[in-house]
């Protein structure tokens, strides 16, 4: 059986992680994790976003299904705003496997800057716990949240990063679940807009676009229905 991917977004539950350029690590890691799930479908499982997986210790408690490979997502930060680049952290006692190799090449290709793209560590709790619990695990620092170019690139390429991560784990990219929503008619959506389900102004415009709808078409239907 092909392996499933279990994604942990770092920090959370009151710990926002690193902060930089107006962004918070816990939020950005969750945004990427959700994209991985959206494009990976049933092959991807997500750790509970409301929890801090480091503190709740889902790895040490062996709460992750055994048929999963595990990826924990973080964003780096540094006082040196020029520091940039992504890398993968594995247990120093292990050799990099095919997933680690693919992932490190991918992230260094998108976010170059690190001299070492795979680092062996034993001083990180989840890295150690994963080894003790027998999980196939790696932690990826996607890029530097403290570097303006890195975080800008991360934000504008989040779909591509998610898809490339899936490819590293041999998981096929599925069409986003957006497609299901698009099958709703413009009139149905317009009625939802009138019922207040899509917010107002810029928020409405952004939400509709994100869900794959033609904002102008929906808005003109709204106007028509309200006449
Ligand atoms: Zn972190």
Q: Which pair of tokens denotes residue 156?
A: 């504008």
**Residue 180: its pLDDT value, please?**
46
Residue matched to tokens 């034993």: 122
**Residue 171 CA, ligand 1 centroid: distance in Å:** 25
**Residue 183: its pLDDT value, please?**
55
Structural domain count, the chain: 2
Enumerate the β-bridge partners of residue 68: 4
Low-confidence ranges of the chain (pLDDT < 50): 179-181
**pLDDT, tens digit, 9 for 90 and up, residues 70-118:** 999 999 999 999 999 999 999 999 999 999 999 999 999 999 999 999 9
- Residue 57's domain spans which residues? 4-168
Q: Other C-beta atoms within 10 Å of 207: how many?
A: 15
**Residue 30 CA, ligand 1 centroid: distance in Å:** 12
**Residue 18 CA, ligand 1 centroid: distance in Å:** 6
Tell which of 118, 149, 168 closes a domain: 168
**Residue 74 CA, ligand 1 centroid: distance in Å:** 4
**Residue 42 CA, ligand 1 centroid: distance in Å:** 26
Instruction: Provide CB contacts within 8 A for 115, sequence distance 6+.
Output: none
Are both 74 and 23 inside the same structural domain?
Answer: yes
Exposed e or buried b for every residue in 28-64, given b needs 16+ CB within 10 A? bbbbbbbbbbbbbeebbbbbebeebbbebbbbeeeeb
**Residue 192 CA, ligand 1 centroid: distance in Å:** 39
Question: Which pTM value belongs to this model?
Answer: 0.78
């Amino acid at each position: 059986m092909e392996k499933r991917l279990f994604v942990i977004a770092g920090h959370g539950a009151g710990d926002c992680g690193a902060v930089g350029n107006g962004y918070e690590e816990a939020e950005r890691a969750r945004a990427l994790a959700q994209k991985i799930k959206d494009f990976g479908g049933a092959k991807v499982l997500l750790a509970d976003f409301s929890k801090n997986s480091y503190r709740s210790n889902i790895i040490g408690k062996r709460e992750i299904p055994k048929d999963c490979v595990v990826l924990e997502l973080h964003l780096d930060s540094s006082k040196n705003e020029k520091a940039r680049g992504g890398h993968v952290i594995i247990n120093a006692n292990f050799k990099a496997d095919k997933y680690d190799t693919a992932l490190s090449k991918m992230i260094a290709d998108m976010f170059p800057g690190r001299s070492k793209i795979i680092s062996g560590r034993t001083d990180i709790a989840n890295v150690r716990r994963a080894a003790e619990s027998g999980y196939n695990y790696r932690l990826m620092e996607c890029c530097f949240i403290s570097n303006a170019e890195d975080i800008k690139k991360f934000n504008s390429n989040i779909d591509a990063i998610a898809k490339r991560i899936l490819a590293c784990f041999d998981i096929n990219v599925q069409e986003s679940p957006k497609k299901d929503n698009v099958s709703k008619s413009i009139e149905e959506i317009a009625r939802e807009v009138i019922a207040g389900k899509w917010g107002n102004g810029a928020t409405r415009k952004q939400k509709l676009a994100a869900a794959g709808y033609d904002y102008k078409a929906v808005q003109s239907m709204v106007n028509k229905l309200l006449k």
